[in-house]
Amino acid sequence: MPQALGLTDYGWTPFFQSQLDINDIETLTPVRVMAVHRGHLDVAGPDYDGPIPPFTENGADDEAVTTVGDWLLIDAATHRPRKILTRASLFKRRAAGTSRRTQLIAANVDTLFIVSSCNQDFNIARLERYLALAREAQVTPLIVLTKADLTGDAQDYARQAQALLPGLLVEAVDARNPESLTCLDAWLGTGQTVAVVGSSGVGKSTLTNTLLGTEAIATQGIREDDAKGRHTTTGRALHRLPGGAWLMDTPGMRELQLTDVQDGIDDVFADVVALAAECRFPDCGHNTEPGCAIRDAIDGGELDADRLKRYRKLIAEERFNNESLAERRARFKAFGKMTRNSQKNKRLRRGDG
């Protein structure tokens, strides 16, 4: 008969224990959210394993909703959720489309496996986005390069990835071979939680299935014409690995819109930030201004111009996504007024109006 799991097996730590008071201990039961569905949550813990109603704490904050990996306190008798415990880490993004809402991706993750592949899908800009998410959440990032068995240049891909961040951990693997994945064991201890992210078709589901030792996650191949992947995973859920860790498979997140990750971006691009601090003028645009340390670094071959472009793009996107709808409407209105005034002045100068 399988041994019953204790709280620590589910990822419970002193951080969560410290949030309980005497009343909580007597009347409420801790459970972890395994999956989120439209009409219910799947939760599990030593004292209860099953469905409970959806739960959002009081308040209009987008982060008041429940996400996969959360710890909840539920009523011991009725199993109704009462409280979301403060998260040790949280991944979020701006919801896809034009909505101004924030979508929660995962909570209480210890390590982020950023999966890419040793083929045309390897993309530096995409890796930097995931790294910014990990650093903002203060979660350890590990880049896992799949399909290493299908190329003779796996180490070249690894070197490119390692250059993105000092001390960055990178492993090149064959996601179908369990022996090839033993290099990941250090991050898969009992109670540890790992989230797997990456674009479609890079081998996330194959990696997950190999670690699980099952075919629990549907997989599809890549398109031969462009090495792009077909989207397979459709929802986020926690899966327990044979060694006792928890692994979260996630959708490909084709619209990974960054929000509230300024510190994470600055961390990933620390070299650019440090150079900007040396510019003569604090509002330097790094174009043609005199005394620009960034332009000097690019001219001297110390900084890649494309890296500066990627940094600017992420910063602009992050600021745009953080801007409230009211602020954006005010800015567009002011811009429209300026444009109309400019056109009116031109007509007056021509004598048309």
Sign of CA dihedral 297, 303, 309, 315: negative
343's tokens = 């056109």
The CATH classification number of 104-249 equals 3.40.50
Find the DSSP H helices in the chain. 14-17, 22-27, 124-137, 154-162, 204-212, 262-268, 270-276, 293-299, 305-322, 325-350
Evaluate whether 210 touches 202 at the Cβ level (below 8 Å).
no
How far apart (Å, rounded) are the C-alpha atoms in residues 270 and 279? Answer: 15
**Residue spans in the chain of domains classed CATH 2.30.30.140:** 7-88
DSSP assigned state of 346? H
Q: Provide the pLDDT for residue 232.
A: 40
Spatial CA neighbour of 129 closest among 311, 281, 274, 283: 311
Per-residue confidence band for 251, with pLDDT thresholds at 50, 70 and 90: low
Name the pairing type of β-strands 193-197 and 111-117: parallel
The residue behind tokens 């099952």 is: 214
Name the pairing type of β-strands 246-249 and 193-197: parallel
**Higher pLDDT among residues 105 and 190, named by residue:** 190
Class of domain 269-322: mainly alpha
What is the tens place of the pLDDT at every residue in 178-233?
999 999 999 999 999 999 888 878 888 889 899 998 765 554 444 344 444 433 44
Helix 305-322 vs helix 124-137: crossing angle, to nearest 10:
50
Q: Which CATH number fits domain 7-88: 3.40.1190.20, 2.30.30.140, 3.90.1150.10, 1.10.3470.10?
A: 2.30.30.140
SS (H, E, C) 137-202: HCCEEEEEEECHHHCCCHHHHHHHHHCCCCCCEEEECCCCCHHHHHHHHHHCCCCCEEEEECCCCC
**Residue spans in the chain of domains classed CATH 1.10.40.50:** 269-322
**Residue spans in the chain of domains classed CATH 3.40.50:** 104-249
The residue behind tokens 């409230």 is: 324
Evaluate whether 188 touches 207 at the Cβ level (below 8 Å).
no
Would you state the torsion angle of the CA atoms of residues 9, 13, 19, 25, taken in this order, to the nearest 10 degrees?
40
What is the tens place of the pLDDT at every residue in 112-143?
999 999 998 899 999 999 999 899 888 999 99
Q: How far is CA 150 from CA 174, 175, 341, in A?
A: 8, 11, 60
What is the tens place of the pLDDT at every residue in 259-317?
788 899 999 999 999 999 999 888 888 888 888 999 999 999 999 999 999 999 998 88
